[in-house]
Amino acid sequence: MHSYSLDDTIAAIATPLGVGGIGIVRLSGPRAHDILRACFVSADGSPLAHRRLVYGYVIDPADGRRVDEVLATVMVAPATYTRQDVAEIHAHGGMVALRAILALCLAQGARLAEPGEFTLRAFLLGRVDLAQAEAVLDLIRAKTDRALTAALSQLDGGLSQQVSQVRRRLVSLVAHLQAQMDFPEDEIPELALGAALAEATHDLTGLVNEAARGIILREGVRAAIVGKPNVGKSSLLNCLLRADRAIVTPYPGTTRDTLEETLDIQGYPLVLVDTAGIAEPQDPVEALGIERSLRSLERAELVLWVADAAAPLTDEDRQLAARLDPHRTLVVVNKVDLAEASKPQELLPEAAFVRVSCLTGEGIVELEAQLATMVERDGAAMGAHASAAGVRHRALFDQALQAVLRAEASWSAGATPDLLAVDLEDAVFLLGQVTGETASEEMLDSIFGQFCIGK
């Protein structure tokens, strides 16, 4: 995907691989309609028309052999996904039939689409900007309703409008500084440059924070479930998932490796990592499991420390508690249905805690509410219109913010307009990479290469 040709016609299977009720072959380009007409016969003679499904058959033009019973449609540019002529064949969902239909389209002159090439054409032809194009992928990958809503907001241009507004203000500042440099003898109207730079700093800080929240919606928060052997870590995972996902036995050391599952906690994706019990290893395999548990603990944004309320505290409890950051740890005091022999939460008095029984289900609802509170705290309060901005956007916003902060410091030090303009031009360029005005081919390849073929 390097030449970005728009003159040829591309084709691909637009539905996931596998068996299903319906599969779709999509074409886009100047010959999309001609290729469809060459491979399709209407059952009752109805003509293909814009956005109208027609019942009929895909045939092999070479011998008239029927390949599948289908519904077909054409969409006329520019009122299409790519702003080119588009054709779709809605066939049965078996891969043999879909591949046969795709092969007929390719034989008639279409080219197999690259990953994300349909959306790339929508971007190149101005239907969407780069941030909106990335939102298409977020829609496909959304793990929760909140993530879906955020991706839809970004697809509608919510993030792009915010970025463009800040970028236009910076362009105006650069233009003003340029005028001061080019026409020093003229009377250039005064500009409250300090206030303008402070406003840009405020707006960019907001975009950085919004991108941080978007990363949580897009990728989820990793929460490691840690504790000594046999305290109920796997039982807790099963309780939260409402399924017997992890093996649970009364014998210590059942879990030897990490197990990951994504949970929807009040609209937030939470990646739960069940780990092996952290204790003195009894064999090399258990030692490897404990090593992985400690790595998971280091990588996690949140930690669920599961402790046994029915057993006295031990040195292992104290050593594990000493490893934990109380501000990102939730102490889960398990087995409260039994006679309580200890209060593990006292080892981490600054951490939040909740009392549960994985056997009876007591406290699980309160645990879920506490988890949602902690995720919201890390991502700040995310409303219905939160952005789905991701890691790439946050890096660009942060770099743009640093450029404006440099300009602000230079202005305070009495720097000349040309020095201020250099940093502000950097910020303008960086923000242009978010929406695509200044995106390179290498960047586009990287972004659209993540898409599936057919989207």
- Residue 381's pLDDT band (boundaries 50, 70, 90)? very low
121 and 89 both lie in a single domain: yes
Which pairing describes strands 111-112 and 221-226: parallel, antiparallel, or unpaired?
unpaired
201 and 296 both lie in a single domain: no
Q: What is the pLDDT of residue 254?
A: 44
Query: What are the Cα distances from residue 81, in Å, to 26, 78, 153, 429?
Result: 11, 8, 18, 28
Mean pLDDT of the chain: 84
Which pairing describes strands 40-42 and 54-59: parallel, antiparallel, or unpaired?
antiparallel
For residue range 174-206, list pLDDT tens digits in order.
888 887 776 655 555 666 788 889 999 999 998
Range of the domain at 310: 228-379
Q: Is residue 363 part of a domain?
A: yes
Q: Among the ranges 29-33, 233-237, 349-353, 412-416, which has the highest mean pLDDT value?
A: 29-33
Q: Is residue 398 part of a domain?
A: yes
209 and 162 both lie in a single domain: yes
User: Span 137-152, mean pLDDT?
Assistant: 80
Identify which has the larger pLDDT, 440 or 111.
111
Q: What is the pLDDT of residue 209?
A: 83
Q: Is residue 28 part of a domain?
A: yes
Q: Exposed, middle or buried: residue 84 (CB in 10 Å: 0-12, 13-18, 19+)?
A: buried
User: Span 35-45, mean pLDDT?
Assistant: 96
96 and 33 both lie in a single domain: yes
Distance CA 238, CA 222 (A): 17
Q: Is residue 66 part of a domain?
A: yes
Distance CA 107, CA 102 (A): 9
Distance CA 112, CA 121 (A): 14
368 and 270 both lie in a single domain: yes
55 and 86 both lie in a single domain: yes
Distance CA 210, CA 148 (A): 16
Q: What is the pLDDT of residue 443?
A: 83
Say if CB 378 and CB 222 are below 8 A apart. no
Q: Is residue 384 part of a domain?
A: no
Distance CA 236, CA 300 (A): 17
- Residue 378's pLDDT band (boundaries 50, 70, 90)? low
For residue range 393-405, list pLDDT tens digits in order.
889 999 999 999 9
| pLDDT value at 257 more than 60 | no
Task: Give the burial string for 14-30 (b: 16+ CB within 10 Å, else e).
Answer: bbeeeeeeebbbbbbbe
294 and 256 both lie in a single domain: yes
Decide: helix, strand or coil at residue 259. strand
- Residue 383's pLDDT band (boundaries 50, 70, 90)? very low
Identify which has the larger pLDDT, 338 or 257.
338
365 and 295 both lie in a single domain: yes
- Residue 384's pLDDT band (boundaries 50, 70, 90)? very low
For residue 428, give the CATH number of its domain.
1.20.120.430
Looking at the structure of the chain, the number of domains it has is 3
Q: What is the pLDDT of residue 426?
A: 95
Q: Is residue 90 part of a domain?
A: yes
For residue 31, give the CATH number of its domain.
3.30.1360.120
Q: Is residue 2 part of a domain?
A: no
For residue range 389-435, list pLDDT tens digits in order.
678 888 999 999 999 999 999 888 888 888 888 999 999 999 999 99
Identify which has the larger pLDDT, 290 or 54.
54
Say if CB 252 and CB 229 are below 8 A apart. yes
The percentage of the chain sitting over the pLDDT mark of 70, rounded to a whole number, equals 87
124 and 151 both lie in a single domain: no
Q: Is residue 360 part of a domain?
A: yes
Q: Judge if the upstream peptide bond of residue 61 is cis by omega within 30 degrees of 0.
A: no
164 and 117 both lie in a single domain: no
242 and 350 both lie in a single domain: yes
For residue range 215-253, list pLDDT tens digits in order.
777 777 888 888 888 888 888 888 888 756 444 444 344
| pLDDT value at 125 more than 80 | yes
Q: What is the pLDDT of residue 380?
A: 43
Measure CA of the first residue to CA of the last residue in the chain; give whole Å. Answer: 14
Say if CB 342 and CB 231 are below 8 A apart. no
User: Span 27-44, mean pLDDT?
Assistant: 97
For residue 316, give the CATH number of its domain.
3.40.50.300
Q: Please state the three-class secondary structure of 307-356 as a single string.
A: EECCCCCCHHHHHHHHHCCHHHEEEEEECCCCCCCCCHHHHCCCCEEEEC
Q: Single out the residue in 128, 156, 185 at which a domain terminates.
A: 128
Q: Single out the residue in 379, 402, 423 at which a domain terminates.
A: 379
Distance CA 177, CA 264 (A): 50
- Tell me, yes or no, if the pTM score tops 0.85: no
426 and 402 both lie in a single domain: yes
